[in-house]
Amino acid sequence: MIARFITSCIAEQIRLAPDKFITVCKRFKDQVLLLEEPLRGVAPMLTAIRKLQPSSEHLTALHPEFLLLCLLSRCYKAGLSILEEDVFEVDQPRDLFLFCYYGLVASQTVRFLLLHCLASLRGNNLFGFPICHYNRAMISIGKKWFRKALELLHNVVTAPMSTVNAIAVEAFKKYILVSLIHHGQSPTNLPKYASSVAQRNLKNLCQPYIELANSYSNGKIADIETYVEANKDKFESDNNLGLVKQAVSSMYKRNIQRLTQTYLTLSLQDIANRVQLNSPKEAEMHVLQMIKDGEIYARINQKDGMVRFLEDPEQYKTCEMIEHIDSSIQRLMTLSKKLNGVDELMSCDPLYLLKAGRERQRFDFDDFDNVPQRFNI
């Protein structure tokens, strides 16, 4: 009955009473979870979001509920249309946190972990912003969108927090692992704009992952495999063993990429020896996969088993590349306009000006050179 109501209701009328509509939709989500049939709620919840949104750039309170259903039903493709949209407006800023995290590790989501995190966040009154970003990051990892997942996880761990919460801790663990997979290294320190609570506590709560990153930086497969085996139970209990194995596997790629910076030609046998692979055939499979993924440029001579490393063949002068660059420039210009608009709104916000005035008394006037010109006297 609720599903039929969501499908047949008129969007303009729903937006006149959004709180009641959101309450009904959340009750609907709770019921499908109680029946252990989350797939039944995916399509109606997506319809509800579209009817509640003034535009596709608007984040509603139903976004994290929808992504949670996508994760529990393993219906990841349904969430892609939501994940690909840029968010510039938020109904409740606290709702953005979970939205990012659910966007992250769909392939490793375990119901117990999600419910544990949700319960922890409700207790800390931080149920919104981190959960939204965590949801998005979960799905991004499941789809192997590691660059996007890093961006979302970064938002989670650097979000303002007065106390450490379960989502931030889980996000930082995955932030380290995804950094190793995507960049071949993990961030040594959180940025300065992260909360002092996060900077003081997250590393201490994620010590096995910090040590894993340190072992990874040595570039020795045997050492990291020994460490993973010794801490396998810990990684498995965190539901991160799959990501840990991907991080270990990525070390082979990093070692092969280092070889391209030193050698022009190298035999498959030499690659296997230097990268610590079992055979030339295994080295060949790794090189072929990296060529396919565009991670290296090389050519394999099947007759003598030699690999020749090449320069990037892209000349950046084709029509397709010019169109790609132009679209990127246009997107950046649009984003710049939006940022300028937000900056102007903040500069006129009474609460912001009041807080800035209080902070001004604690510092010298030289620390406030970037105050907008309109407020200069």
Please report, in tens digits, the pLDDT of each residue of the chain (377 residues total): 888 888 888 888 888 888 899 999 999 999 999 998 988 988 999 999 999 888 887 888 888 888 888 888 878 777 777 777 777 776 665 555 555 555 543 333 333 333 333 333 333 334 455 666 676 777 778 778 888 888 888 888 888 788 888 888 988 999 999 999 988 888 778 888 888 888 888 989 999 999 999 888 887 888 888 999 999 999 999 989 999 999 998 888 888 888 888 889 999 999 988 888 888 898 899 999 889 888 889 999 888 889 998 888 877 778 888 898 999 999 889 888 888 887 888 888 888 788 777 756 554 545 444 544 444 44
Question: DSSP label at 373?
Answer: G
Helices 350-360, 319-348: inter-axial angle, 10-degree rounding:
80
**Is residue 130 packed enough to be buried (19+ CB in 10 Å), middle (13-18) or exposed (0-12)?**
buried
Task: Give residue 373's pLDDT.
Answer: 47
**pTM (whole model) above 0.75:** no
Distance of CA 286 to the CA centre of its chain: 26
| Buried b / exposed e along 204-238 (16+ C-beta atoms within 10 A) | eebebbbebbebbeeeebeebeebbeebeeebeeb
Q: Which helix (H) or strand (E) holds 300?
A: strand 298-301
SS3 308: strand
SS3 53: coil
Task: Give residue 320's pLDDT.
Answer: 87
Structure tokens at 101: 């995290």
Rounded CA separation 214/234 (Å): 17
Rounded CA separation 95/279 (Å): 50
| Residue 25 neighbours by CB distance under 10 Å | 27
Rounded CA separation 271/282 (Å): 10
Which residue(s) pair with 299 in the sheet? 308
Domains of the chain and CATH, by start: 1-85+117-125 (no CATH), 147-254 (no CATH), 263-314 (1.10.10.10)
86: nearest Cα among 148, 147, 26, 144 = 148
SS3 150: helix
